[in-house]
Amino acid sequence: MARARTLPVLIVSAFAPELAPLVAWLDAPAQRALRAAVTCQPAGIGAVEAAAGAAEAIARLRPGLVLFAGTAGRYGDSPPTGACAVARRLLLAPTAVLRGEAYLPGPMPHQLTTDPALRSALRAGRRFPVADVATTLGITARRTLAARLAATGAALENLEVFAVARAAARAGVPFGAVLGVANRVGPQAHREWRANAGAATTAACAVIQAWLATR
């Protein structure tokens, strides 16, 4: 991927703590030149806020690419808690549709794919898994619903990544995402997330940090 295509870079998260390790690294004197070409921007929690926040930041900054850094819940046994995954297919997953109580109108986008070259660059020979990710409106609390979401092919759940990807797609900007796995989706998800979110955030930011170090 050519340098002209990768800089400037906009890195988006749901909220500031999910960018904190990366911001601290970029603020070091050794990264001064790189810091000028990278903007870290919390966009908002949930799909609606994240779409609006990401669209505003993209319009204002006109980045060469957009990355999302965040945490995710897993539907099955892998990727395990504490692992990182590079997102591949992104699914908009309204749970009412899965239950057969609603449907999406035909023209409405509901599936996106991250930029393949960026996906490969983020992994860069490292053994991070790639994973399909479902974006739901709310946090899934029941295992039965988690199983339905897993049946779509998604391995992970995140509330913002599809929305940010859609904002990037509308702007014609390459998009990638790195997610740290913080919990298993289900009734204990919030407790697990609170215990593991810091480590998952650090792991996701470390992947992006390693990629930025090669720019």
Per-residue pLDDT tens digits for 178-211: 999 999 999 999 999 999 999 999 999 999 999 9
Distance CA 161, CA 50 (A): 8
The CATH number for 172's domain is 3.40.50.1580
Contact by Cβ (8 Å): 94, 136 = yes
Residues pairing with 131 in the sheet: 87
Q: How confident is the model at residue 4 (pLDDT cuts 50, 70, 90)?
A: very low
Confidence band, pLDDT 50/70/90 cuts, at residue 1: very low
Residue 32 has pLDDT above 60, yes or no: yes
Range of the domain at 196: 3-212
Tally of structural domains, the chain: 1
Is the pLDDT reported for residue 3 higher than 60? no
Contact 118, 65 (CB under 8 A): yes
Please report, rounded to a whole number, the percentage of residues in the chain having pLDDT higher than 70. 97
Question: What pLDDT is stored for residue 99 in this prediction?
Answer: 86
**Residue range 142-163: average pLDDT?**
96
d(CA 166, CA 177): 12
| pLDDT for residue 125 | 73
Which of 40-44, 97-101, 142-146 reaches the highest mean pLDDT? Answer: 40-44
Residue 24, helix vs strand vs coil: helix
Angle at which helix 189-212 crosses helix 116-123, to 10 degrees, equals 90
Say how far residue 183 (Cα) sits from the centre of its chain: 15
For residues 45 and 78, which has the higher predicted lDDT (pLDDT)?
45
Separation between Cα atoms, residue 74 and residue 89, nearest integer Å: 15
Instruction: Report pLDDT digits (tens) over 46-103.
Output: 999 999 999 999 999 999 999 999 999 999 998 999 999 999 999 999 888 888 899 8
pTM of the model: 0.93
Mean pLDDT of 136-159: 95
